[in-house]
Amino acid sequence: MIERVPAAEGVPRHVAIIMDGNRRWALANGLPALEGHRRGVAALERAVDAALQRGIAMLTVYAFSEENWKRGGSEVAGLFGIAERFARDRAGALAARGVRVRVIGRRDRLPAGLSDAFRSLEERTAQGTALLLMIAVDYGARAELRDACRALARDVAAGTLAPDQIDDASIAARLWTAGLPDPDLVVRTGGELRLSNFLLYQSAYAELWSTPVPWPEFDGSALDRALDDFTSRERRFGG
């Protein structure tokens, strides 16, 4: 069953953002990569504020992909430290604004401190109804689909599901986003034009929008440009 997530009239219910460009922004400004990630956290807070103000019901952000493990160990450790501080320091403010946080991805590979911080963040914001903020960490859409296929295969082997019963709903129910609506709009910052293994199944009919603005500089006006473009399109869903 899809969780009911209402949206303000005229805006997409669910906006997903590929937060790209932190390291390139830092390099262009003569700063270390971690400073780009720190500024990225500030941009995330601006995006949350903008989503609340514009009546967006659900915001999903791509914070750390499974491919990001290929980066240097010090950068990964620093990025996780920034994420842990955000989770611990901002939980109260997010809860006060009615933001509920959900984290998706593989938590078994995350440092214990970060995993605990995410669990606490979810618990402290569980009553939020103004905005659902979904943070994808150690996430990969292909890994998500593999897990869903394995779950289906186990159910078929156990005799609780017939192969002919596998449909879109049964697949969606076994994804990490089970019960949540698909994104209406996928935004990518930093100027690239690819999904980078992000919500591949869920984005089948999402509108795509890219901006050259790097994530550390993203703000409400950049989101407004994406929303304006979205509302100007005719969504036909393949029809």
Check whether 7 has a pLDDT greater than 60: no
128 within domain boundaries? yes
155 within domain boundaries? no
With cut-offs at 50, 70 and 90, classify the pLDDT of residue 215: very high
What's the number of CA atoms in the CB half-sphere (13 Å) around residue 167?
3
The rounded mean pLDDT for the chain is: 95
30 within domain boundaries? yes
Q: How far apart are CA 99 and CA 93, in angstroms?
A: 9
Cβ neighbours of residue 187 closer than 8 Å, sequence gap 6 or more: 15, 16, 17, 18, 209, 210, 211, 223, 226
Burial class of residue 72 (count of CB atoms within 10 Å of its CB; 0-12, 13-18, 19+): exposed
Number of CB atoms found within 10 A of residue 14's CB: 24
213 within domain boundaries? yes
Q: Is 20 assigned a catalytic role? A: yes
Q: Is 228 assigned a catalytic role? A: no
145 within domain boundaries? no
Burial class of residue 92 (count of CB atoms within 10 Å of its CB; 0-12, 13-18, 19+): exposed
65 within domain boundaries? yes
Residue pLDDT, tens place only, 44-100: 999 999 999 999 999 999 999 999 999 989 999 999 999 999 999 999 999 999 999
Q: What is the CATH number of the domain that holds 126?
A: 3.40.1180.10
Q: How far apart are CA 100 and CA 127, in angstroms?
A: 7
Check whether 10 has a pLDDT greater than 80: no
- State the total domains in the chain: 1
Strand partners, 100: 132
Strand partners, 59: 15, 133
29 within domain boundaries? yes
209 within domain boundaries? yes
Residue pLDDT, tens place only, 137-185: 999 999 999 999 999 999 999 999 999 999 999 999 999 999 999 999 9
The pLDDT, as a whole number, for residue 239 is: 65
Q: Which of 22, 49, 68, 224 is catalytic?
A: 68
Using DSSP bridges, classify how beta strands 99-104 and 131-139 pair: parallel, antiparallel or unpaired.
parallel
Q: Domain range holding 50? A: 14-140+182-230
Residue pLDDT, tens place only, 178-194: 999 999 999 999 999 99
